[in-house]
Amino acid sequence: MDYKILVNKDNTLDKSYIPDDLVDALSSYRDGILINKLVLKQFNLMREDAKKLGYNIDIMSGYRDYMYQEAIYNKLLKEKGFAYTFRSIAKPGTSEHQTGLAIDICIYKGDKCYIEHEVEDSEEINWLINNSHKYGFILRYPKNMEDRTGYNYEPWHYRYVGDIAEYLYKNNLLLEDYFSS
């Protein structure tokens, strides 16, 4: 498994691409979320450390196959139109979620789980932004990088990249920069 794989609007995955090593994330948010085995191991380490600070994080979305991505893309397209959809969700074949290496993180406060824009500016997210690299993750769609990533700020979306995470974080680089340097 290549943990540095680049998937974006220009670097696409085949419809038939299904990653190896998918396991059940055992998320309390939803049953049946699959992610890469090593990604789960690293997420669990991060979650344990978050817990020590009183933060309760979990995975609300992991691996999505091509057909599923196609379904949610078409649904949003119908509801919100192309301009909104283009910056908000990946077209099928261009989603990192198809690699099994990307996770969307939700935050529990008591029994309530907060997702997507609800988690913005929370203590938990600030901690993840500045510490997830220690576990091999990067914030994939940072603030003020919309023109370069092609996506709106997504404080909940983290991508496992392995040992280059620290380098990218410390130099404020996108995964794209790693491939163009």
Considering only 7, 157, 159, 165, the residue that binds Zn ion (CB under 5 A) is: 157
Using CB under 5 A as the binding rule, whether residue 140 contacts Zn ion is answered as no
Q: How far is the CB of 52 from Zn ion (least distance, A)?
A: 26
What are the catalytic residues? Answer: 154
Q: Is 36 helix (H, G, I), strand (E, B) or coil?
A: strand
CB 23 within 8 A of CB 40: yes
Residues 100-119 that bind Zn ion (CB under 5 A): 104
User: What does the per-residue mask of binding to Zn ion show for 58-97, with x meaning CB under 5 A?
Assistant: ----------------------------------------
Q: Is 57 helix (H, G, I), strand (E, B) or coil?
A: strand
* Binding window for Zn ion (CB under 5 A); candidates: 16-24, 47-55, 71-79, 150-158: 150-158
CB 44 within 8 A of CB 129: no
Closest CB to Zn ion among residues 59, 168: 59
Buried b (16+ CB within 10 A) or exposed e, 17-48: eebeebbebebebeeebbbbebbbebbeebbe
Using CB under 5 A as the binding rule, whether residue 124 contacts Zn ion is answered as no
* Binding window for Zn ion (CB under 5 A); candidates: 36-44, 48-56, 76-84, 99-107: 99-107
Closest CB to Zn ion among residues 50, 59: 59
Cα–Cα distance, 179 to 111 (Å, whole number): 41
Give the chain's length: 181
